[in-house]
Structure 1
Amino acid sequence: MRQPTAFTVLAAVLLLGGCGAGPRDAASTTPPPVPAPAVTTAPTRTGTAFNPTDIAWLQLTAAMTERLLPVLDLVPARTTDPVWRRTATEVATTRRADLDRARRLLADAAAPTTNPHEGHDMPGMVTAQELTALRAASGKPFLRLLAGHLRAHLAQSVRIAEAEQQSGVQPATLALAAAVVRTGTDELARLDHLPG
């Protein structure tokens, strides 16, 4: 029996997650196509190779994080709740550090600087319409929206990081995936105890 390739595993996760070229449509029965990673096995300046799963995961992690940060930046102006403000600051600090690490690893892999997920909406990615709704809300309605988007982002981040752990090969990328799983799981547990 043939074992799935590293990219096949992450591609399946992305396909099930709904990464596609258009907006999410719950009524759609045909899953959207998954973009292929921009590079295959890539040697780095340090000599440690990245496989297609490493590259695809880093690119998707960067894209998802870039969509979440503007949401977290809204928190101070939309709620006075100190627990939510502190949580948003902590999550944003962690995600910015993860984004910096992902970008450095992509540079080390000589991966293209363009975002292959530009314009794609999938679980864990806040859409432009959702961001507009968040900007128009405040108080408890804002917190309900925020909690939903944050939970979706964290759950999807953990899910794809676990796929990277199973099929990636580059040690620094695997270490970042392990950190994403650990912090994301902790942050999901914290959400259960936040005021709503």
Structure 2
Amino acid sequence: MIWRGTVGSAALLVAVLLAGGCAGSAPAPASVPGTPTGVPPAVAGRPSGPAGTPGPSGAPSVSGLSGPFNGTDIAWLQLAVALHERVLPVLELVPTRSTDPAVRRLAAEIREGHRADIDRFRALLDRSGAPRTNPHAGHDMPGMVTDADLATLGAATGVEFHRLFGRHLRAHLEQSVRVADTEQRSGAEPTTTVLAGAVVRTGRAYLARLDQLAPRADSRS
């Protein structure tokens, strides 16, 4: 089974990614032998074709064939699901806490984009043969809003809400870009690395827009 050979390298990658901002130094794990789930042996190893091309939103489609996944691919996809899922409740608070059109528009765009990305991440995980259970569910890691943070944010209003919202969103976007950049450089499966590139580009664009909202929606003090 493909997943069995990736457990150690995936766990190692996540540990490196989350240790002291050292994401950029994560080594590429050895490639995982075998054919992804659902791909006939006769076509294994061929270029991904349509699956590796960007869709309308700039993220790749996952409707075509994919190549072999390595430990970095699996680790990134699982971590990306956890990161995106954890920030959704933050984004969903905005319509009831902010009247700023720019803040509401940014939150809505990120929310819809993240939901679509989660579907793409999960489709690739299914294709890889990885378990559906996410090992990061419930974990508090860099870039993730804790339950306590969410409770504080939910009770905040006005300037305080915008300050906390901006802080948490920035931390999420920066970590998402950091780990996606590592996947781009160390991943093996073509569709997955293209998707990581889309996450990097959109994440940086969102950070630039967040900068423009300061100090209304961001403060590091």
TM band (smaller chain) = 0.7 to 0.9
Q: Aligned-pair distance for 1:41?
A: 5.2
Q: Which residue does 2:19 correspond to in 1? A: 15
Do the aligned partners of 2:13 and 2:75 also contact (CA within 8 Å) in 1?
no
- Which residue does 1:165 correspond to in 2? 184
1:140 aligns with 2:139: no
Q: CA deviation at 1:15?
A: 2.8
CA contact (8 A) 2:153 2:165 kept: yes
Q: Determine the C-alpha separation between the residues in 2 that align with 1:158 and 1:79.
A: 26
Distance 1:193 1:172 in 2: 32
Q: Percent identity at matched positions? A: 54
- 1:35-85 deviation line (CA, Å, top 9, x unaligned): xxxxx6563123321101000000000001110011100000011111100
Deviations 1:97-154 (A, max 9, x none): 1111001101111111111012321111000000101110111111100000000000
After the TM superposition, which residues 1-196 of structure 1 pair with which residues of structure 2 at under 5 Å, given as runs? 11-17=15-21, 43-44=35-36, 45-46=38-39, 47=44, 48-195=67-214, 196=216
Root-mean-square deviation over aligned CA pairs: 2.0
User: Which sections of structure 2, spanning at least 5 residues, go unmatched?
Assistant: 1-7, 23-31, 45-66, 217-221
- TM-score normalised by structure 2 residue count: 0.72
User: Gapped runs of 5+ residues in structure 1?
Assistant: 19-39
Instruction: Tell me, yes or no, if the aligned pair for 2:18 and 2:142 is still in contact at 8 Å.
Output: no
Give the distance between the partners of 2:187 and 2:134, measured in 1 at CA.
20
Read off the aligned partner of 1:147 and give its amino acid letter: G
1:177 aligns to what SS in structure 2? helix
Aligned mates of 2:151, 2:14 — CA distance in 1: 31
Q: Mean alpha-carbon deviation: is it higher for 42-51 or for 66-75? A: 42-51
Which whole-Å CA distance do the structure 2 matches of 1:92 and 1:155 have between them? Answer: 16
Shift of 1:9: 5.4
